[in-house]
Amino acid sequence: MKKMIIQGGNRLSGEVTIGGAKNSTVALIPAAILADTPVQFDTVPDILDVHNLMIILESMNVKSAFSHGVLDVDPTQIMEAELPSKAIKSLRASYYFMGALLGRFHRATLTFPGGDNIGPRPIDQHLKAFEALGATVHEDGSTVHLDAPSGLHGNRIFMDMVSVGATINAILAAVRADGVTVIENAAREPEIVDLATFLNNMGAKIRGVGTDVIRITGVKTLQSMNTHTIIADRIETGTYLSLAAALGDGVMLNNVIPEHLEAFTSKLMEMGVDLQIDSDKIYVPPVTDLKPIHVKTMPYPGFATDLQQPLTPLMALAAGQSVVVDTIYPKRLKHIPELQKMGMQIEGDDGRILINHTDQATLRGADVEAGEIRAGASLVITGLMAQGQTVIHKADNILRGYDRIIWKLNRLNADVKIEDE
């Protein structure tokens, strides 16, 4: 594991360019094995999850090469094989190989995936979707066996709860199935639209993405003709917006999609941040007075659960008490005891977090631990705000989700480095 060392107290300024969306990328790479041709992605974030997905591809004889934001994947010589459990367990999104392998080979065996431990995230909706398409499901301890010897057949799938992962897995399994599949109560996230755009450009017939009803007519082959450019990461954007508002002397964010962030930017403006929003960039001027807010996380287009932790350090500067209610992952609380070590006035339990005003001068560097990606982001921002040195252990969790974060922060006048533990 690695640790991140932050010397706090510097004011930040300059420009930062947002990378491709992590949550698109981790679905697009498994989707590539559905193609009958080589595939190329552009604006790929340089994050640990990408490198772990490349290890999984290699185990199936799928060659991949990654350089300067371009990822080439060649699935033309793919072979069925046991997937490496270490790489599978390191990131939860490896479960997209279930839908992709089921769509390609009509069978799949996977170790139950890992990733961030932010409370229960069962895969029952995924398995229900596979069964609706004609697969049998057998769970053996932490291993899932999927089999559809007679092939997959289109069907109606109703999601009992809105699930991004289950919606994506259902699309991956259905795109080459016989007949028509209708997914109802589907998730509407931009990353799902990005995935469908990629698949449609290869000849898939997916309609309704971005709404709660998706209709898929199965096709026999998928062939890539063009490079797919991944959409900008709205969670990375929100993280840098919060950082810039907390300790920026004027920061410009480039390569952003403001429409994907309206629930978040409206909260920043409610706090008193005078954002200057253009078509593909946002300028954050220096901020003086901040008002407290109430945030409730919801499925898209509501306020993203992944952004409640990165916003926490900014809320601590507000003149009063801010409240976060996380309806998606109520157990997402790993950041709280770590932030308390740094002097932040924060408490919470079971989905309700109270953030009281904390004078920035009282924030102090400390030894803390990044329990998961977004908790780590909140520690990074607080460490930059605090006086003295902060050491964030388990920093691999941050590197899993943030493209070239050390380089980007230091270009803004931060003092951050990574070392091995």
Q: Which amino acid is at 127?
A: L
Residue 286's H or E segment, with its range, is none
pLDDT at 350 over 90: no
The DSSP 8-state label assigned to residue 168 in this structure reads: H
The model's pTM is 0.96
Q: Domain spanning 2-18+234-420: which CATH class is it, in words?
A: alpha beta
Q: Which residues are annotated as a binding site?
A: 22-23, 92, 121-125, 306, 328
Structure tokens at 347: 């408490």
Q: Any idea of the CA torsion for 79, 82, 87, 88, to the nearest 10 degrees?
A: 110
Q: Supply φ then ψ for residue 189, to 5 degrees.
A: -55, 150
- Over residues 191-208, the pLDDT tens digits come to 999 999 999 999 999 999
Percent of the chain with pLDDT over 90: 90
Q: What beta strand segments (E) does 55-97 contain? A: 63-67, 70-74
* pLDDT value for 2: 97
141 contacts 70 by C-beta, under 8 angstroms? no
What pLDDT, in 10s, does the model give residues 102-149? 999 999 998 876 555 555 557 899 999 999 999 999 988 778 899 999
Residue 386 has what pLDDT?
98
| Residue partners of 318: CB distance under 8 A and separation at least 6 | 271, 290, 291, 292, 293, 355, 357
- What is the CATH code for 22-229? 3.65.10.10
- In the chain, CATH 3.65.10.10 covers 2-18+234-420, 22-229
Cβ 338 vs Cβ 360: under 8 Å: no
pLDDT tens column, 313-333: 999 999 999 999 999 999 999
- Binding-site residues from annotation for phosphoenolpyruvate: 22-23
Classify strands 281-284 and 276-277 as parallel, antiparallel or unpaired: antiparallel
Alpha-carbon distance of 102 to 298, in angstroms, equals: 30
Gyration radius of the chain over CA positions: 21
Give the residue numbers marked as catalytic: 116
Q: Which residues are annotated as a binding site for UDP-N-acetyl-alpha-D-glucosamine?
A: 92, 121-125, 306, 328
Q: What is the mean pLDDT of residues 145-171?
A: 96
Query: What is the Cα–Cα distance from 177 to 219, expressed in whole angstroms?
Result: 7
